[in-house]
Structure 1
Amino acid sequence: MRRLLLAVPVAALLVVAVVVLATEYVVARPSRRAKDVAYVPVNAPDVDKKRHLLDVYSPRKSAPHAAGFPVVLFIHGGSWTSGNKNLYTFIGRRLAKQGVVAVVINYRLAPAVHVPEQAADCARALAWTVQNISQYGGDPARVFVMGHSAGGGLAALLATDDELLAAHGLPHNPVRGAILDDPAGLDMYSYLREMKYSNDEQYLVPFGNDPTVWKQLSAIYKIRPGLPPFIFYLGGETYPSISGSSGRFRDKLKASGQAPLYTIMPGRHHIPMVLQLYWQHNLIYQGLLKFVGA
C-alpha cells in the first residue's frame, strides 16, 4: 500500500511533465529561437561572456507589414541579484506565436556589479536590438520594453532616461512603449531612505549607499511630458512597496499629460504575476498585443 501511495504522486508528476512538454512543443513550432546572442563586443573591456547574452524568438510566419513584426524586449526580475533569461523561454515562445519578435536578455547581477551597470547593460541590449532586429523579422521602429519586478524598474529606466541611452549608442530614444508587470524599483530613493520593511538593507547590495545614485536609478524622477506610453499590470496582493510606487508613478504620468493603462489583477501575488505569462490567452498578453499593434 505504501508503494502505491508513493507511486500516485510520481505518476501525477509524470503526467504533468508530459503535458507541459507537449504544450511547449506545440508553442515552439510556430517560432524560431536564436540562443545566446552576444550583445556586447567580445573585445569590450567589461564584457561578461555569460551575462551579456540574449535570445531572440521570431515568428515563423511572414510579417503582415514589410517593415516586420513589433518587438518586445523583456527584462527579468530577481531583486537585481539573481535571474536568468533561460527561465523565461515561455514568454519568448508565446510572444512569437502571437506575432511579436521577443528579445529576452541577461544582464550582470549584484554583487559583481551594481544597478548602474545593470541599467547600462539593458541599454546596450536595447541598442543591439535596434541595430540588428530586422535580421530576425522585427521592426526596429516598433521596439517596446517589458519587465517584471526588478526588470520592470529597469524597463522603466529605458523608457525615461535618454541620457542613459545616449551613453550607449542611442542618441534618440527608440522605445515606443513600456509594459510593466508588477514593477519594483520605480522609486528606490524614497524606499531606501525610509527603510520601513524588514531586510531592506539587502537592497544596499545592488544600489549602494549613495542617495544620489538611488534617485538617478529611480524612473519616477524622470517623468516628463512626451514620454512613450506605459501600461501597468499590478497584482492585487503584491507587496505594498510595489503597489505604492506604481500608483505614484501613474499619478505623475497623469500630471504630465499621459493617462497610462493601469490594471490591478485581484488576488494575484508578485511571483504569479510573471508565471501567468505561461498561458497564452491571459489578460496581460491580451492588453500587450493591442498595445504593440500585433
Structure 2
Amino acid sequence: MSLEFHPHTPSPQSDEEEKASPSSTSSSASSPAAEDARPFLRPSASAAGGGGRSRRRRTVSEPSLRSLSSHTSRGRSFGRDVGHAAAETFLLTRLAITLLRYLGVGYRWITKFLALIFYATLLTPGFLQVGYYYFFSSQVRRSIIYGDRPRNRLDLYLPTKVDGLKPVVAFVTGGAWIIGYKAWGALLGRRLAERGIVVACIDYRNFPQGTISDMVEDASQGISFVCNNIGSYGGDPNRIYLIGQSAGAHIAALTILDQAIKECGERECTSWSVSQIKAYFGISGGYNMLELVDHFHSRGLYRSIFLSIMEGEQNLWRFSPEILVQDSSVKHAISLLPHVILFHGTSDQSIPSTASKKFVDTLHSLGAKADIVLFEGKTHTDLFIQDPLRGGKDELLEHIAAVIYGARSQNKSLLEIHVSITRWWKTRSRSRRCFWCSMCVSS
C-alpha cells in the first residue's frame, strides 16, 4: 500500500516576496500553468555602463549616486510591497468568499467564529507584545522562501547567543486546516529561542487554496529546507526535531509517515530523510479522521467542508496516521519513524485527548517508540497560548526542552527525565500534576 497524495491546483497568487538567505537575496514567482507541470515532490548580472552619460560635462559625485540608488531601491521596494499587499488582499477576499460558500449560514460555525473573535479580543494585550516581537525583533527572519508554490514561506527564530550550533525545531502550526499561518508560531518560537533553540515555523496552503495533499507537500518541502539549509543560520543539522500543533500535528504526522514510506522503496527518495528527525512532538492533535469527522461537525467544522479538505469520505483512511500505520504493507516504514511524543490536555473539547491515547497505543502495538503526556485540566489552547502568555513556568516547553537537551547532554532516558520534572513540579505546587499515561510513576 502506498500513501499517495493527489495534487490540487492552487489559486493564482503574487509571489514576489524577497527570499532571505545568509549570503544573497533573490525573487521568486510561479504561475498556475507552471505549477501543474511540476511533480508532487521535487528533488532537492553585471552592471551596464551608460556610454551616453559619460559625455556629460557635469559629473555626479559617488555619495550622490549612492543616495540616488538608495532612494530608487526604497521606491522599488515600497512599490513591490504595495503590489504584493494588493494581490494578497484580492486573493484572501476571493478565498474567503469561496470558503463562505462551503460553510453556508450554519449557526455552529458562526457561534464558534464569534467566540474566537471574543477570545482573541481578551488576549489582545498579550498578542500585541508578541506581534511587536515578531515584526521588530532582530532575532526573527520572516518569510524565507523554501519552495515555489503559493505560501511556501517560513519564519526563523534565532537565539541571541551564538556559541556553536544550536538544536533545531521545525514547527507546523494549527488552524483547523483553514486559518493556519506561520506567524501563529511566534510565541512558541520566542520561548524556545530563549532556551537556545532555533525554530522554523513552516507556512502551508490552507483550504480552499489547497487540500490535505497540498498541505503535506508544503510541510515536506519546508522540512527539507530546514534539513538542508539550517546550518547556514546557526542550527545543528544533526539535531532537528519536528513539532505540530492541532491540525499541524495531523499534517506533520502524515508528512513524516509519508516520508518513511518513500524511504522503504515504495516511492522515489526525496531531499530529506526521516533519520534526520530526532523526535516528533504532537500537541493536541487528531490522528484518526474517520472517528473525528462527526465530532468536528458538531463543533462547527461541517462534514461537507471537512470532507472537501480530506478529498472525499473515501480518502479519510488514507489521511489518518492511526489507520495507516496498521496496514501490513507499511510495516517496514514503522521502524524508520523517530521517537513520537504526544501532548494533550484532558479537558480539550476541540480534539479529545483520547485521539492521542489511541494513536500511541497503536504505535506501541506495532513496536514503535511512542509516549504520551497528558496535562490534567488543560484545554485545547492552554498548552499553546494561555500558559506561555502567563509567563513563568511552562510545563509543555519544559518537557520539550528536557527531551532536546537532557537526552543528549545527560544521556537520560525519557522516563528518567519525566521523573525528575514531575518531582520538581510536585514540590513547587501540589495542586497541579502532569500525567504520563504510558509511563505512569507512583508518587
| Closer/same/farther in 2, CA of residues 291 and 263 from structure 1, 3 Å limit | same
Give 1:293's match in structure 2, choosing from 381, 384, 405.
Answer: 405
Bigger mean CA deviation after superposition, 116-125 or 90-99? 90-99
Corresponding residue pairs, total: 264
Q: Structure 2: which 5+ runs fail to align? A: 1-120, 327-333, 407-443
Q: What residue in structure 1 maps to residue 316 of structure 2? A: 214
1:110 deviates by: 0.7
CA 169–284 in structure 1, closer or farther in 2 if over 3 Å, else same:
same
Q: Cα offset for 1:18? A: 8.9
8 Å CA contact retained: 1:235, 1:265: yes
Q: Which has the higher helix share?
A: 2
CA offsets 1:9-28 (integer angstroms, 9 cap, x no match): xxxx9xx9499739976xx9
Give the equivalent residue in structure 2 for 1:90: 187
Measured after TM superposition, the shift of residue 143 of structure 1 is 1.0
Displacement, 1:262?
A: 1.6
- TM-score normalised by the chain length of structure 2: 0.54
Q: Report what 2:388 is aligned to.
A: 277
Partner residue in 2 for 1:8: none
Distance 1:258 1:124 in 2: 25
Shift in CA distance, 135/77, structure 1 to aligned 2, threshold 3 Å: same
Deviations 1:173-205 (A, max 9, x none): 422111111012x1114444x679523333112
Distance in 1 of aligned mates of 2:198 and 2:175: 24
Q: Does 1:145 find its partner at 2:252?
A: no
User: 1:277: how far off?
Assistant: 3.5
Specify the structure having the higher radius of gyration (Cα).
2
Letter in 1 for 2:238: A
Amino acid across the alignment from 2:288 = D
Which stretch shows the higher mean deviation, 119-128 or 284-293?
A: 284-293
RMSD: 2.9
In the other structure, the counterpart of 1:134 is 231
Over residues 52-108 of structure 1, what are the superposed CA-to-partner deviations in whole Å (9 max), with x where a residue is unaligned? 110111112134xx5x11111111111111121123212111111101100011100
* Higher relative contact order, structure no. (Cα contacts within 8 Å, ≥ 6 residues apart): 1
Give the partner amino acid of 2:352. Answer: I
Task: Please show how residues 54-203 of structure 1 align to structure 2 within 5 Å.
Answer: 54-63=154-163, 66=164, 68-161=165-258, 162-163=260-261, 168-170=270-272, 173-184=275-286, 186-192=287-293, 197-198=297-298, 199-203=302-306
Taking the aligned partners of 2:362 and 2:273, their CA distance within structure 1 comes to 25
Residue 226 of structure 2 aligns to which amino acid in structure 1?
T
Structure-1 residue corresponding to 2:59: none
| In structure 2, distance between residues paired with 1:104 and 1:163 | 24
The 3 A distance-change label for structure 1 pair 164 and 116 is farther
TM-score normalised by the chain length of structure 1: 0.79
Return the offset for 1:169.
Answer: 2.4
Write the distance in 1 (CA, Å) between the matches of 2:140 and 2:376: 34
